Amino acid sequence: MDYDTYGSNAVELAIDLANADRAGDPGWAEAFLRSHDEWFPVETPLELTPAEARRAAATADLVRAVALAGTQDDVIARLNELLTLARPHPYATDHDGELHLHYARPDAPALEQLTTTVAMGLSQVVAQHGWQRLGACSAEGCDDVYVDTSRNASRRYCSNTCASRSTVAAYRARRRV
């Protein structure tokens, strides 16, 4: 399948956000922005207030809910919930040398840029390629979500690490009988 670069990158950002480790660290959202700072113009301050961090968590929960939804009605309801948080403002740029569109204003606060990019990126990919492209990792003990960009929609794991871990576990299980 053909993904346009920005759209597919934006859905990867959404998946990263949904899988971000939030356990017990109130600074997780700001750390997430800093580890994805290629998404923000250098002028954008990446500091978040505690209220903004909670809104980032709500966005992450909604991305996860979309990925885990089992029916199209459920997917649509969750996507619309996520889209109400977005403030889309199409913006043309060639900051990387190639003319492309961004979903958010470059002068919007970091949280608004993040929420808008994630909501629009996820919605575009679901609308173009189907919600079955999203799923949760099949590896034991992993509940990360993923977007399947493989040609034949055969993905079952969040990462190569989980895929090979599961292959080894299945092999050992077979050998035991």
- Footprint of Zn ion (CB under 5 A): 137, 139, 142, 144, 158, 162
Residue by residue, DSSP assigns 70-137 as: -SHHHHHHHHHHHHTT-----EEE-TTSS-EEESS-TTS-HHHHHHHHHHHHHHHHHHHH-GGGEEE-
Number of other CB atoms surrounding residue 35 within 10 Å: 10
Minimum CB separation of residue 53 from Zn ion in Å reads 25
Nearer to Zn ion, 85 or 142 (CB): 142
Nearer to Zn ion, 66 or 139 (CB): 139
Minimum CB separation of residue 138 from Zn ion in Å reads 8
Minimum CB separation of residue 26 from Zn ion in Å reads 25
Minimum CB separation of residue 166 from Zn ion in Å reads 8
Residue whose tokens read 């954008």:
44
Minimum CB separation of residue 45 from Zn ion in Å reads 19
Nearer to Zn ion, 75 or 137 (CB): 137
**Residue 146 DSSP class:** E
Question: Exposed e or buried b for every residue in 68-101, given b needs 16+ CB within 10 A?
Answer: bbeeeeebeebbeebbebbeeeeeeeeeeeeeee
Nearer to Zn ion, 131 or 157 (CB): 157
Nearer to Zn ion, 13 or 162 (CB): 162
Q: How far is CA 154 from CA 79, 134, 146, 158, 167, in A?
A: 23, 11, 12, 12, 15
